[in-house]
Amino acid sequence: MKKDIVLCGVGGDGIVSVAKIISDAALNMGMNLKQSEIHGMSQRGGSVFSHLRLSDEPIFADVIPEGKADIILSSEPMEALRYLPWLSKEGWVITNSDPFVNISNYPDIEKVNAELKKLPHVVSFDASEIAKQLKARSNMVLLGATIPYLGIELAKVEEAITHIFGKKGQEVVDLNIKAVRAGYGEAIRH
């Protein structure tokens, strides 16, 4: 199995945490991984992205070539569009449809979401609203929606969440798992 994932969004949305959880789950499955992150713009509201490459074979480069990503996981719809050049023809976009409007010339959100809906493989939904209802973070909801396309079992992701957030207490672990399961259910419905 091989998966090349571009994770993107804005600083403060938890993209780096999602990459860590996926990485932890993959490592626990005995997979190889390479990751490349851009932290320089990670202040709240700045564009952030990470390349995450998973494989059961050796990986020699940490950057995903354009047109080769299997998944674009985006916490924000305009950021999903920004990274479309990396998506393969068979690739999936999993994105929050709720915008993070942090610039005065943010494009019309209906037009942004309409562009995303033109893609052959897209899961676009309001992860922010689901997270709000659960009193959780939308990044965990989006992680859950990505699981059906990762090739990593839900149970392995839940183990990684327990490992990473365990020191924060069982309540935090349970809340994150609940959010992941909600996102997983959303992806199954698409």
Query: Is residue 166 classed as helix, strand or coil in its secondary structure?
Result: helix
Using alpha carbons, select from 147, 158, 132 the residue that is nearest to residue 183.
147
pLDDT at site 10: 83
Element (H, E) at 97: none
Using alpha carbons, select from 134, 129, 85, 76 the residue that is nearest to residue 107.
76
Q: Looking at the DSSP assignment, which residues form a beta bridge with residue 33?
A: 54
- DSSP H stretches of helix in 83-189: 109-117, 127-134, 138-150, 154-165, 170-189
Instruction: Output the CA angle 35-36-40, nearest 5 degrees.
Output: 140
Least confidently predicted of 1-5, 13-17, 162-166: 13-17
Distances (CA, A) of 155 to 49, 107, 177, 180: 26, 38, 10, 11
pLDDT at site 39: 54
Residue 146's contacts (CB-CB under 8 Å, 6 or more residues apart) are 5, 22, 71, 73, 94, 183, 187
Query: Is residue 47 classed as helix, strand or coil in its secondary structure?
Result: strand
Report how far residue 96's alpha carbon sits from residue 26's, in angstroms, rounded to the nearest whole number: 24
Least confidently predicted of 28-42, 50-64, 94-108, 145-159: 28-42
Confidence of residue 48 (pLDDT cuts 50, 70, 90): confident
Confidence of residue 47 (pLDDT cuts 50, 70, 90): confident
Please tell me which of 47-56, 77-86, 103-112 the model is most confident about, judged by mean pLDDT. 77-86
